[in-house]
Amino acid sequence: MPRTVDHVARRREITEAVWRLVRREGIVGVSVRNVAAEAGTSAGALRHYFATQDELLAAALTSVVQRATERVGDLDGLRGREGAARVLEQLLPLDDERRDEVAVYLAFLGRPLTDPALVAVRDEMEALSREAVTVAVTLLDRDGLLGPGTTPEEAVALLYPLLDGLALHGVQWPARYPPRRLRAALDRFLDTLAGSRA
């Protein structure tokens, strides 16, 4: 009797192989051949699930979206400054897991994408990042923690690129921008947003 294959489980195993390669070799280690070897299969068999390197990275990026969404969902009930900081910290490379996630996200941003499906995955991640910043600003605003004359829209427009910059520096130069420095920069900027109320 032919063996039945759980395709969902197999895709998950392959995606986990991508993450192991990212952790061990960085994003440059992700190729169809390397992922097939890591997953214990042939390149031909892997191509039944992911035809190209871009599709492998898209699966990893989709996994980033799912993981970050789950973490942010766990923060329900937080308020004000503490809640805002906790939400925003999900987008920064403050531990190995988040560092890997940011590395995949940044690698994807740096690739020229022509496949609309891959562009959609990238855009979903960007929308999640912006939504997290919006949620954080809303928490600040509800507790009266935005400075005089600062609208929530202005706060999002200022905070969103700052987080991208911190994430980039934390991944590219981790010795110069360790987690404590990233947190300190975020705290300082939240003080700036609060203005005279800090």
Q: Are residues 86 and 164 in the same domain?
A: yes
Q: What is the pLDDT of residue 111?
A: 67
- Ranges of H-type helices in the chain: 7-25, 32-39, 43-46, 53-73, 80-89, 96-109, 116-142, 152-172, 179-194
86-128 pLDDT per residue, tens: 999 989 999 988 888 888 777 777 666 677 777 787 788 888 8
pLDDT band at 70; cut points 50, 70, 90:
confident
Q: Are residues 76 and 163 in the same domain?
A: yes
Return the CATH number at 124: 1.10.357.10
Residue among 88, 74, 193 nearest 143 (CA) = 193
Q: Are residues 59 and 123 in the same domain?
A: yes
Q: Are residues 77 and 133 in the same domain?
A: yes
Q: Are residues 38 and 90 in the same domain?
A: no
Cβ(88)–Cβ(148) under 8 Å? no
Q: What is the pLDDT of residue 159?
A: 94
Q: Are residues 14 and 91 in the same domain?
A: no
Tell me how far apart the alpha carbons of residues 185 and 172 are, in angstroms, rounded to a whole number: 16
**Better-scored residue on pLDDT, 44 or 2:** 44
Cβ count near 166 (within 10 Å) = 22
133-173 pLDDT per residue, tens: 999 999 999 999 998 889 999 999 999 999 999 999 999 99
Look-up of token digits 């959609």: 120
Return the CATH number at 46: 1.10.10.60
Tell me how far apart the alpha carbons of residues 167 and 92 are, in angstroms, rounded to a whole number: 5
How many alpha carbons fall within 13 Å on the CB side of residue 169? 14
Q: What is the pLDDT of residue 74?
A: 67
Domain containing residue 82: 53-197
Residue among 123, 179, 129, 126 nearest 159 (CA) = 129
Cβ count near 2 (within 10 Å) = 4
How many alpha carbons fall within 13 Å on the CB side of residue 155? 27
Quote the pTM value: 0.79
Asked if pLDDT for residue 177 goes beyond 80, the answer is yes
**Count: domains in the chain:** 2
Cβ(174)–Cβ(93) under 8 Å? yes
